[in-house]
Structure 1
Amino acid sequence: MHKSRTSSTLSDRTDEDGASQSPRDLNDNHDERHENQTEVPKLTESQFWLSIFAICAVSATQAWLIISIFPYSGFMAIELIDGVNEENAGSYAGMLASAFMAGRAMSSVAWGKIADSYGRRFVLIISLTASCFLSVLFGTASSFPLAVFWRFMMGLCNGLFGTSKTCVSELAQGNGGLETKGMSLMMGMWAWSFLFSPALSGVLSEPVKAYPDSAIVQQFHGFLSEYPFILPNLVSVIMCIFALFVVSSFVPETLPPQRKRSPKYIVGDIVRSLCEFFTSHLTSSKRHNKEETDGLMKTENGASIAYGTAQTESNQELESAKATCTAADIPKATIAQIWCNTDTRTHLIVYWLFSFVVVAVDEGFPLFCISQHGGLGLSEVNIGKILSTSGFIFAVCQYSVYNKVVDCVGLTRSVQIGSIVAGPLLMLIPLSVLLNSSTDISGDQDATNGSGSGSRDNELSWSTYLFLSIVLALYRIFSLMFFSSITVLTNRTVSPEQRGTMNGFSMLGGSLTKGLAPTFVGLLVSFCISSGVFAPRVGAFMVFAILSCMGCGVGYTAYKTM
């Protein structure tokens, strides 16, 4: 009785939410068609929250995989490349972060299509398993090119984020209130990751140098000396295993059964897709052009089924495909179709631009911290303390702040507020150099002596520590407000059948921009602070002034187009 009442309540809320949304936010016709054709069982509220808990574990794991490298990426470059120091490590550190995003960019659309064909759970399980093994390989890389390669492979085999966003929207089953709260919690895992990831990653990096007198470190001295960055990656393994367990236990498959294809055919489907890809570029017959135009593919026995499904169907399942799939029942989800949707295109462009700014800040801040000239000259441990404290404030405040703002002004306005407020906060970061008097003196002495390297562990004053923690926390609260709202709005611009592919496309563009951002900011920091064109402190201010202007520009774009 309780389950029935809960399901009914969710259905009622679906109608109310649909009525409250404009056509640009929610396509009611697509949702109605989806409800008629799907056989996904209704979830009780307790089942929904257990599923959200599992998705949050996946999101936290994904955040750790991306964020944990920031405190030590520069030091990893110094360790693996001869002649690199704190002042010129920025561009190399950017390569490590960019490699992950480059890999994810190449595979995002494919993961979205896989999620639409073989199921959401399948993508989550495969991605977590691959990330587990690749983390170990990255942590034991013996050269910088090898580290970049394994980092690239980690991104290539990762379809977690886009699939997680799809799952949250589908688990809510049309309940707008639960969807907003679930998306906020999932995106909020980045807050908790900012709390734990920098602290753990910074503390666990280079243990032989950080804790030379520790009994445990002495016991594994040889191994930890050879692989100084293995410990943060072992944490990745533990998190992947835990996320894999909760996903297997609590997350139901949200892809309708009649649209789900058995994973045992995936190898054959990949081979077939590759053959068709090369064949389509070698031949340009009228038959091929007609199939592309009509969106249909003819089978060997003359049967016709939807193009998007036919290209992945094997000969053994043609009969069942004809019986269950028709072009009318399953609309094709193509990148061109998604891009032609004006609302979807606008939301995606704004999301990609702001993603570039956020990743540039995440990568640029540690580079500013380790720089002896113009920066703070801090070690990875002190950087971790700042990031973890800001993460704590972020984690405690973000959920309540986000929900209050959304309740007051709605999703669209919260996107605009988040991007417009976050940008100017970045201008405050360079002021920390003035607060940190000990870093001030150290930096002046190094500049006078012409030293390109100095102590990595300059004293961090309490005023600087609290100032940076608060500024970063506020910046991340408003950034998360942007990302949570834009994700919900973008999911509502397409039909449920297109969400997997759309989120894959979203991750493609996001990965490209996020992949370019670390390299961009690494070069920007090196040029502004270390090139000699500007005084180091003026250069540090210019770095964050440029990033701030870019953030404000995204806010203006969101205000004008949404």
Structure 2
Amino acid sequence: MAAASSGATTPLLADMEDDELEQDLPKPVPLSGSPDSISSISTTPLKSRRPTPLPKFQLLVLCIIMLAEPVSYTQLFPYVNDMCYKLGWAASEKEVGHISGLIDGLFAIANLLTVMHWGRLSDRIGRRPVLILGLVGLASCNLVFGLSQNLWVCVAARLAMGALCGNGVVTQSIVSELTDETNEAQAFAFMSLMWAVGCIVGPTIGGTFSRPAEQLPHWFDTPFWQANPYLLPCLISAGIMILSLASAALLLKETLPAAIRAKRANQTEQERAEERQEANEHLHTSERTYGAMDEQFPQEAVGILPRKEDRVWTTWELVNAPGMVKAMACTFLMMFVNQAWDIVFILYSYTNISLGGLSLSNIQIGYCLSFAGSVGACIQIFIFPRIQRRFGMRMYPVVLAVLLFMFPAAPVLSNVVRGIMGEQDRGDAGALAVVGGCGLAFMGRVAAMVFPLTYILCKRITPAPSALASTAALGATVAAGARAIAPWFVSSLFAWSVDLHLLGGYLIWVLMTLIVLWCVWYARDLDTALADAERVKAERLGNVDAICGP
């Protein structure tokens, strides 16, 4: 079922003949039943199916690798507005939003133009080479960003980061190839967990180590650090990326089916026999079906789809696959509203109370984001898999609806803090502003449960196992488009609302609430569209025997 409904590679013992497979493995459940029964397996609760054990070591390696991107992306959040103002890129606090939105939006624009190519490249040459190249690029560009004193050097570094980073697509594809429907929610939750951990580590690094000559004068009050006040957090982030790079190069195993076949083609018969024997010792065939995978030998124990399924799908074929337009539209809307919140929350927290913000300092913003990331990590690991297993894709619009409470709550909190504390300098608004900011950031982590749901959506909407990375890349391209538009849109809208006092300064909050409301309405029938797409895919691919035949 996993191969037909989720697009994941169907695991089989490698290089075994058909008669050997019939002897050593139980017969899979055929997919030639009624369309209703086919779709119900992937869109209804999976309580009656025993979860397949996760390949724990490979997931651990992936977690280390996945930490690099969110740290790189979020470590600048606590200080980017301060950086724009202190380095003279913005003439006043009111103009900061325009510049910081430009810096963040250009990352997404570059990612939008390149991520599809990285996904398709990983479908051709393998997952590991693309991951390694992306990590090298991220580490190098972070150092350039930290050293930049000129706005356009900073912009070029962010553009290069976005252009070189296809890591999210590749890791998403690897997780898809390591899991089936019974354990995908738990595995994809780890992807969101690492983003949540990155949202702890990144802002903490950025808030604590930016302007170190002032915040940590005992160690860093030197001319070099005074001249490069934002280098230290970038240097620490680059160190984390080097750790991720070493993990990818030394510990991660290739999961691309065609690459595994090519490797096995060069093995001797004795090596293949030893590999089969070792895999059989770790596979408990009485407890697992074709959808299972041994946790110690996730690559050696898996089989390969026939060569006719190894072809790379064209973008046009993907776009025209059943349900793809609906899935990609929901991906775009989800990313737009969540990215808009992440950006406007930081800008709102930094803005003076008199202008409708919270007047938080860099380190206070970092602590708010770190607290929210800590709570978000618990949500992703302990709560999300249970909820997803029970409700499936029906929870998608419900999670989106959390944002309906967050955007209106922000101006209410600012008014309450101003009414109680009065006008305060940055960092002096008191515990009420910090606790309120933590509460808003926490709600953002609850809304972030939509991200692993989107990973699962992209996996299941995939029209064929060989199109996993290409579909993930299409989703990442759509998401990058939203990430390119949202920062500039929401930052500029916030600045205009404050500067021109539009709707009393509340235009940003009113408009974003209406946009979220429309997004929730559009996603209301996503589960039905996914069920229809899976039904068509199952009918086209036939049953497991047809997919895995010679």
Shared fold per TM-score greater than 0.5: yes
In the alignment, does 2:404 pair up with 1:423?
yes
Give distance in 2, aligned partners of 1:65 and 1:419. Answer: 26
CA drift of 1:26 comes to: 6.9
Aligned partner of 1:347 among 320, 327, 333: 327
| Aligned twin of 1:233 | 234
Deviations 1:28-55 (A, max 9, x none): xxxxxxxxxxxxxxxx957x11111122
In the alignment, does 2:490 pair up with 1:521?
yes
Range with bigger deviation, 179-188 or 545-554: 545-554
Aligned partner of 2:512 among 529, 539, 547: 547
Give distance in 2, aligned partners of 1:94 and 1:464. Answer: 24
Aligned partner of 1:203 among 192, 208, 220: 208
Closer, same or farther in 2 for the Cα pair 1:436/1:501, shift >3 Å?
same
Closer, same or farther in 2 for the Cα pair 1:200/1:25, shift >3 Å?
farther
In the alignment, does 2:315 pair up with 1:335?
yes
| Aligned twin of 2:368 | 386
CA drift of 1:222 comes to: 1.4
Map 1:505-516; keep pairs closer than 5 Å: 505-516=474-485
Give distance in 1, aligned partners of 2:456 and 2:53. Answer: 19
Closer, same or farther in 2 for the Cα pair 1:534/1:493, shift >3 Å?
closer
Q: Would the aligned equivalents of 1:375 and 1:433 in 2 still touch at CA under 8 Å?
A: yes
In the alignment, does 2:422 pair up with 1:441?
yes
Closer, same or farther in 2 for the Cα pair 1:83/1:544, shift >3 Å?
closer
Q: Would the aligned equivalents of 1:138 and 1:233 in 2 still touch at CA under 8 Å?
A: yes
| Aligned twin of 2:275 | none
| Aligned twin of 1:531 | 500
| Aligned twin of 1:59 | 66
Q: Which has the higher contact order (CA 8 A, sep 6+)?
A: 2
Give distance in 2, aligned partners of 1:521 and 1:437. Answer: 23
In the alignment, does 2:245 pair up with 1:244?
yes
CA drift of 1:422 comes to: 3.2
Give distance in 1, aligned partners of 2:27 and 2:420. Answer: 56
| Aligned twin of 2:521 | 556
Map 1:63-102; keep pairs closer than 5 Å: 63-81=70-88, 84-102=91-109
Give distance in 1, aligned partners of 2:61 and 2:491. Answer: 35
| Aligned twin of 2:336 | 356
What's the secondary structure of 2:169's corresponding residue?
helix
Amino acid aligned to 1:426: F
CA drift of 1:185 comes to: 0.9
| Aligned twin of 1:134 | 141
RMSD: 3.1
| Aligned twin of 1:293 | none
Q: Would the aligned equivalents of 1:13 and 1:176 in 2 still touch at CA under 8 Å?
A: no
Map 1:221-300; keep pairs closer than 5 Å: 221-257=222-258
Aligned-residue identity in percent: 20
What are the ranges of 5 or more consecutive residues in structure 2 without an aligned counterpart? 1-11, 14-20, 44-51, 264-303, 528-550
Deviations 1:45-83 (A, max 9, x none): 57x111111222222211112122221111121133355
What are the ranges of 5 or more consecutive residues in structure 1 without an aligned counterpart? 28-43, 263-323, 444-454
Aligned partner of 1:456 among 400, 403, 426: 426
In the alignment, does 2:455 pair up with 1:487?
yes
CA drift of 1:349 comes to: 1.0
Q: Would the aligned equivalents of 1:422 and 1:476 in 2 still touch at CA under 8 Å?
A: no
Give distance in 1, aligned partners of 2:194 and 2:315. Answer: 29
The alignment of Structure 1 onto Structure 2 pairs a total of residues equal to 454
Normalising to structure 1: TM-score of the pair?
0.74
Closer, same or farther in 2 for the Cα pair 1:13/1:140, shift >3 Å?
farther
Q: Would the aligned equivalents of 1:420 and 1:556 in 2 still touch at CA under 8 Å?
A: no
CA drift of 1:429 comes to: 2.0
Q: Would the aligned equivalents of 1:124 and 1:160 in 2 still touch at CA under 8 Å?
A: yes
In the alignment, does 2:158 pair up with 1:178?
no
Closer, same or farther in 2 for the Cα pair 1:123/1:439, shift >3 Å?
farther
Give distance in 2, aligned partners of 1:17 and 1:401. Answer: 31
Give distance in 1, aligned partners of 2:32 and 2:347. Answer: 46
Give distance in 2, aligned partners of 1:78 and 1:328. Answer: 57
Give distance in 2, aligned partners of 1:517 and 1:247. Answer: 32
Give distance in 2, aligned partners of 1:241 and 1:17. Answer: 45
Closer, same or farther in 2 for the Cα pair 1:104/1:85, shift >3 Å?
same
CA drift of 1:523 comes to: 0.6
Aligned partner of 1:414 among 375, 388, 395: 395
Closer, same or farther in 2 for the Cα pair 1:545/1:250, shift >3 Å?
farther
Q: Would the aligned equivalents of 2:128 and 2:252 in 1 still touch at CA under 8 Å?
A: yes
Give distance in 1, aligned partners of 2:247 and 2:357. Answer: 42
| Aligned twin of 1:166 | 173
Normalising to structure 2: TM-score of the pair?
0.76
Closer, same or farther in 2 for the Cα pair 1:415/1:85, shift >3 Å?
same
Deviations 1:525-562 (A, max 9, x none): 11111224454xxx2x4323322332232221110344
Amino acid aligned to 1:512: G
Amino acid aligned to 1:398: Q
What's the secondary structure of 2:426's corresponding residue?
coil
Amino acid aligned to 2:225: L
CA drift of 1:113 comes to: 1.2
CA drift of 1:198 comes to: 1.5
